[in-house]
Amino acid sequence: MIFHSYEYILFLLTVLLVYWALPRREQNLLLLAASYLFYGWVHAWFLWLILCSTVTDYLCGLGMARYPQKKKALLLVSLAMNLGLLGLFKYFGFFVENVIAILEILGLPTFSNTLHILLPVGISFYTFQTLSYTIDIYRGTLKPRRNLLDFALFVAFFPQLVAGPIERAKRLLPQIEQNRTLSPAAARDATFLILWGFFKKLVIADNVARYANEAFLLEQPSFYLIWAGVFAFSIQIFADFSAYTDIARGSARLLGFQLMPNFNHPYMARSPADFWKRWHMSLSYWIRDYVYIPLGGSRGGAIRNSTALLVTFLLCGLWHGASWNYVIWGAYHGVLILSFRLVGGLLPDSLSKIRLLTPLRILFMFILTNIGWMIFREVDAFYLIRYLTTSPFGVSDFELHAGLFIFYKTFLFSLPIWIHALYARLRGPLFGNRSRPVVAINLLASMVMILGMLTLKHAQAFDFIYFQF
Backbone dihedral angles phi then psi of residue 197, each to the nearest 5 degrees: -65, -45
The span from the CA of 220 to the CA of 308, in Å, is 38
> For 169-215, how does the pLDDT look when each residue is reduced to its tens digit (9 = 90+)?
999 999 999 999 999 989 999 999 999 999 999 999 999 999 998 88
Measured in degrees and rounded to the nearest 5, phi and psi for residue 91 equal -120, -5
Beta-carbon contacts of residue 371 (< 8 Å; ≥ 6 apart): 332, 388
**Whether 92 contacts 114, CB under 8 Å:** no
CA atoms of 327 and 330, how far apart (whole Å):
5
Cα angle value 383/389/392 (rounded, 5°): 120
Give 379-415 pLDDT, tens digit per residue.
887 788 888 888 788 778 888 888 889 999 999 999 9
Looking at residue 119, its pLDDT comes to 72
In the predicted model, what is the mean pLDDT of residues 257-269?
93
Query: Does position 466 have pLDDT exceeding 80, yes or no?
Result: no
110-160 tens-digit pLDDT = 766 655 666 777 888 889 999 999 999 999 999 999 999 999 999 999 999
CB 312 within 8 A of CB 334: yes
Interatomic CA distance for residues 61 and 138, integer angstroms: 8
Is there a contact between 162 and 122 (Cβ–Cβ < 8 Å)? yes
Just list the catalytic residues.
320
Torsion of CA 399, 404, 407, 410, to 10 degrees: -100
> 2: which DSSP letter?
-
What one-character-per-residue DSSP string does 365-393 give? HHHHHHHHHHHHH---HHHHHHHHT--SS
Give pLDDT tens digits for 46-100: 888 899 999 999 999 999 999 999 999 999 999 999 999 888 888 777 777 777 7
Mean pLDDT in the chain?
A: 87
* Dihedral sign, Cα of residue 194, residue 195, residue 196, residue 200: positive
Through-space distance between the first and last CA atoms of the chain, rounded to whole angstroms: 16
What share of the chain has pLDDT > 70, as a percent? 97
DSSP letter at 202? I
Average pLDDT of the residues in 309-332: 91
Using DSSP, state whether 16 is helix, strand or coil. Answer: helix
* Buried b or exposed e, range 182-215, using 16+ CB within 10 angstroms: beeeeeebbebbbbbbbbbbbbbbbbbbbbbeeb
For every residue of 261-312, DSSP letters joined together read P--S-GGG-SSHHHHHTTSSHHHHHHHIIIIITTTTTT-S-HHHHHHHHHHH
